[in-house]
Structure 1
């Protein structure tokens, strides 16, 4: 088996940054677990420190780990013992060489059939999403440092980009200079501002937030500089976070420049000046280097700049973020339904123009749909995206493909049919003809009871163990319960 970096290696540990110059040639190829039946494994990584060696991915290798944790293989029955081989080329493209087994392998949501598929360097830059056996999703991407424990819980992610942002936040929090946060809408600028405030010496004082895009020009001055009620007065020695600072009216921009220059301001209607003791943190998703923004203010804000990467630039973080939103839903509602792997795969492949905020909204809507007993459809939840695959002729589908689709979709017939691109009636016919799939009426009640006991009463896992549709199993259990009540 291939061994990952070792905690016992004095030069390369899980907490050690790897100082390398920019460019792919000196970066390490990494595998991150985007999704796994054991949610605790999501976000674990394998880093290929040797540039020239192939990476064999199978049930027992490589070993994936997290900082400070154990290293373990994927260890899933649906992942074959024969290896999917990843080969890095001199131009930094990567080839996927299929195993000899019948394991289903997907690349960015499409099933692979050719013995070798070559991906361009640009595709690897974007992150390759690989599905194995209908149970595991991996992301192939670059890392310029080894994984590190996150001391800033609000900035989630295992990517090199996420690690860099946390490092910058720690550095910025140790100073008292103004900060400018730049990034696309939804990329987490307010979370970063709160992380800076909480990690600073001002953390016991308030952080007051003002969205300049929602404050009218007539009220902006009072909102910021009002005596006793303005943001600077309320923050005291804490922090003032001005979101969308590029939308601030020109007179207010001039006032902010003077505040940063003199550390004083005059409240509207007042005769005396007040001391501005709060630290200013600004954020923008606009280009501030034009005539519409006060360039003298910009030069002072640029004392410290933190650039928040878009989600499409850190695709390997999507699994960790999606799991976080699911866990938050579960904490609020007392439990979260499982989402089909095909849907999770679409989450991981999509480019997310609305970034983390959009991802969170889609995951929550999907959970709401699933909670109501329906299958979440990506194309419906993300307008403009073709969520349904092209129709497939049932006769072209092999028995293994049918079984894989059911396994990947929690043995829900509708979800499996969507994943295969067939109608529900066609799916029923495929299941009836399959030698390994059983109708609920063919299974002895004692076997059903044993499977329920073995899986803690979880009907979804019980259905997978019995190889029977979960809808039929749930109807059977409801009917049996109704009989006991009556």
Structure 2
């Protein structure tokens, strides 16, 4: 049972609660692409030395894990002395050796030498060598020897991803409530499912609730249930999400968007483990709660009206997820994982790794990884995964980069690479949904595939406003609005392809996937 003695006794975050255990910053070169994909994620520590350091075919050792066997890049198209690296008082001096293989640094061809200052090193630079190897060179925390037996479904070898695994191991060993914080697409739901799968409640149900999708007037009944006759139309008693998750885990996604009217009831439910169904009596409930948000629930000036006591009650333990741009050294492993997954789904696993990959094909993939490394990925890991799906669909016999991705690569080039992306600005005042024209709304729904969050962001309205608009306009539907018969027919027509079903029914793909997962859980039972 979670500790219910106080609302203020919380841990700010597991990572922050371990002072003095973080490795010191070192200059690290990480392999983002290599023709041998098993090398992706390998790294080399570059020691600060007075003597020049040579990077080439057989001159710098890369390893998978601390203390592991070092291997050279060992690519025949890469010169033996491709780059000369030298530390100076002004920064890091890179020099391409005469007649050495070609080299690009942050999008620019390196013909002679280049000085990378300390600020650039902190941000990181992307290096393409001989059109066959991609490196990410940046100051970072040295990896530690991996102590966790499980990877928890997390892809990546960076010190950040290692830290997430350590935190998941700690969280999974307790029964305390957890708050997951991070921008959209950073993997909050993946972590929630990892906690569930590795906890002592793994054999019980995890019920997922999108708090932003619950209208304020329906929230008490949806969360805590309603007794028969409690309101007009309540012809039978209905359990709420808390009752459905009893004995298991309740995942409150988008908790930062919870209606203000229901927050005091949520606080009591979490603090006392007591709930009151509409028209019913107070009852005890035993469960674990995981919540997630991308909202700034700590900023009182943000105007989101989030209950401070509830915020602390949710975070008995807290994990903060970073945007993908903050751990680009994982990007190569993520790309390889998603591409292989997407190609396998279409029976073309060999397109990325097959022996038929000529030097030209290798160069194509190296350039693709390199351009991906230089992009900002505001949608984070989810956006990267979607990009890989698009590439897999477009690439029949060889790599084809779809036009939207090419446009994104061009925008990244115009910005000058990852190091010079604009800082976020103060969020603008939200528009009223009534001020949005029908044409604007329809266009946003089409362009963003009916996904509520990007639709709301593009129109500068709240997500609740988008949900209200969908509910009030018969032209739009949520995944939950689709009848079982219509959904079954659509799945049959599309051979079970959820993405195709979502496009045909004009509903959110993520909403459809959530509904399918929920129905599978219900069929499995507790």
Listed as ranges, the matches of 1:151-300 within 5 Å are 151-226=150-225, 229-270=239-280, 272-289=281-298, 290=300, 292-300=305-313
Listed as ranges, the matches of 1:31-430 within 5 Å are 31-48=29-46, 54-67=52-65, 70-90=69-89, 93-114=91-112, 116-149=113-146, 151-226=150-225, 229-270=239-280, 272-289=281-298, 290=300, 292-336=305-349, 337-338=351-352, 340-371=365-396, 375-377=400-402, 380-381=404-405, 386=410
Distance in structure 1 (CA, Å) of the matches to 2:242 and 2:413: 54
Distance in structure 1 (CA, Å) of the matches to 2:51 and 2:269: 57
Distance in structure 1 (CA, Å) of the matches to 2:126 and 2:399: 26
Distance in structure 1 (CA, Å) of the matches to 2:175 and 2:247: 11
SS of structure 2 residue aligned to 1:333: coil
Distance in structure 2 (CA, Å) of the matches to 1:113 and 1:362: 32
User: Contact 1:265/1:275 (CA < 8 Å) preserved in 2?
Assistant: yes
Question: Gapped runs of 5+ residues in structure 1?
Answer: 1-17, 391-486
TM-score (normalizing by structure 2): 0.65
Shift of 1:287: 0.6
Shift of 1:181: 0.9
- Deviation track 1:43-62 (CA, whole Å, cap 9, x = no partner) reads 11112355666542110121
Question: Gapped runs of 5+ residues in structure 2?
Answer: 1-17, 227-237, 353-363, 415-526
Q: Classify 1:85/1:244 alpha carbon distance in 2 versus 1 (closer, same or farther; 3 Å).
A: same
Distance in structure 1 (CA, Å) of the matches to 2:307 and 2:257: 11
TM-score (normalizing by structure 1): 0.70
Distance in structure 1 (CA, Å) of the matches to 2:98 and 2:33: 24
Distance in structure 1 (CA, Å) of the matches to 2:266 and 2:49: 50
Distance in structure 2 (CA, Å) of the matches to 1:219 and 1:53: 69
User: Contact 1:47/1:146 (CA < 8 Å) preserved in 2?
Assistant: no
Distance in structure 1 (CA, Å) of the matches to 2:52 and 2:193: 42
Q: 242-251 or 272-281, which moves further after superposition?
A: 272-281
User: Contact 2:107/2:413 (CA < 8 Å) preserved in 1?
Assistant: no
RMSD of aligned alpha carbons: 2.7
Number of equivalent positions:
367
Q: Classify 1:47/1:389 alpha carbon distance in 2 versus 1 (closer, same or farther; 3 Å).
A: closer
Q: Classify 1:60/1:19 alpha carbon distance in 2 versus 1 (closer, same or farther; 3 Å).
A: farther
Name the structure, 1 or 2, with higher relative contact order (CA <8 Å, separation 6+): 2
SS of structure 2 residue aligned to 1:361: helix
SS of structure 2 residue aligned to 1:217: coil
Q: Classify 1:178/1:380 alpha carbon distance in 2 versus 1 (closer, same or farther; 3 Å).
A: same
Q: Classify 1:267/1:140 alpha carbon distance in 2 versus 1 (closer, same or farther; 3 Å).
A: same
**Match for residue 399 of structure 1?**
none
Distance in structure 2 (CA, Å) of the matches to 1:47 and 1:155: 23
Shift of 1:268: 1.9
Shift of 1:256: 1.4
Shift of 1:306: 0.7
User: Contact 1:58/1:83 (CA < 8 Å) preserved in 2?
Assistant: yes
Shift of 1:144: 2.2
